[in-house]
Structure 1
Amino acid sequence: MDVKLIGLRKIPLIKENDDIARIILDSMDLEGIEILDGDIFVIAETAVSKSEGTIIDLNSITPSKLAFELSKKTGKKPEIVEAIIQESNEIIKVGPDFIISETKHGFVCANAGIDESNVDGGLATPMPVDPDKSASDIRIKLENAAGSEIAIIISDTQGRAFREGAVGTAIGISGMEALWDRRGENDLYGRELETTSIAVADELASAASIIMGQANEGIPVVIIRGIEYFKKLKTDSSTAKSLLRPKKYDVFR
């Protein structure tokens, strides 16, 4: 299987009410790229949050008593701590310069997924309110414009337990399953797989992150082309919620 990663370099800085799908189509026209069946578009969540206007003005936040307490423990400013609290269902663990929480969406990650990079000073971007819906809206517009079957993944950069560094992670998806259940298939020695489930949405988000970068690369959209299992996993009812482990099985909480 030959896989190609295409970073769209003609995407402008996103503003509130911008039409992400239209911007993608215009960028592809400028770069001479057509949408093909099976293309998977990975879009940085910061771009989606900006377009939807889900921007936090940290200067307008009044920190709570808990925010001041956690600020002392983490070294973070009370305003960003309060924003994290407001975007969380539960504060799970606090350490130097980080707060692990469960977001309103159910994701367990550092700082409720709030990002202070690639926005003006004093502002921060939380995750989109409904990343799956955002992905679906963009997919439908692109498919209608191109007449092709595609998938959309909204990605965020997150850390992982017991490992240093951050990788791209899927927080929203539309057009294909987020998980590939391979139970019942055989391995190279003919043994039947009993527990194997592949987080393909996370794998694809991580692959796209190589091109997106984390600094001033300015590539918030990456097309992944040539994924053979796309047709097998094609669906109109996918959700990133399938990637979330139920709390009762979360042995770390």
Structure 2
Amino acid sequence: MKMLVNSEIYTYNEISNIPCKRCDIGDNFPVRKSHKYSPFLDCIKNKQLRGVCHTVFTPELIGMRLSVDATKIRNIDNAGGSSEESEALSFELLKRFYNAILIKTEMQVKYKKMEMENGKKTDDNGKKTDYVCKIGDTIIGVSVTRARSYFIDRAKKIAEKYPDRNILPGKPFSLEDAIKLLKKKLECINESNRYSLENWTKQLLHVWSAENDISDKLEQAFHNLERLEPELVSNTVLLITTTTGTACDFIYMNDRKSMQNEQCYVGDNR
């Protein structure tokens, strides 16, 4: 296994201008790493730092193995939604790059009772962090989300199903969409920080991005929020992983049956 902790630091849009070969860091788990501004590990270790970091993920599903802990995240119940695959791969990436150690899964994280607000008790469940891990000596909470032009994907499928109909094209992922997504997730992170009984010092927001252009908009949105709403961004680190190829569709659709048909995740890579 190749651990790429001390690789060079580049912004995402510089990747095409530098020599960069595929980095196999485990069984059929090729990832390229690039960072902007503060190196990822410095952002994680320093409580005051925040920043944007990038990786590029091009998997080969057949024979791609998950670690025991990533398999655990994938197979156990979470707090709802359909994000087990993206959360499991998120941890696997951190484990392979930075020797991350899983501390707690989503349902193991403990929170204080929600407070009364405006005379009403808030939702008992609150906003959950997806998992807690340790990188080096630092414990961090990790929240995972996905960014993709879903409307375009849906419009294409409808057009294929009903070729005789005039189906309007979907709307591409915009800067406004990126700002809306990040604001929602950062608000959840702040609430999770507020009520958590865990001893993490900061959180990582990991976004799986389906296109280069979406990754650029996410970074731009993050910096806009840094400038306009610094208290919202706080010391959160944004990790954007851009996926390439149709083999990554399952990350966004959470289609476990499709993955099983591809014979991926065979066995456990400890």
**TM-score normalized by structure 2?**
0.28
Higher helix share: 2
**TM-score normalized by structure 1?**
0.29
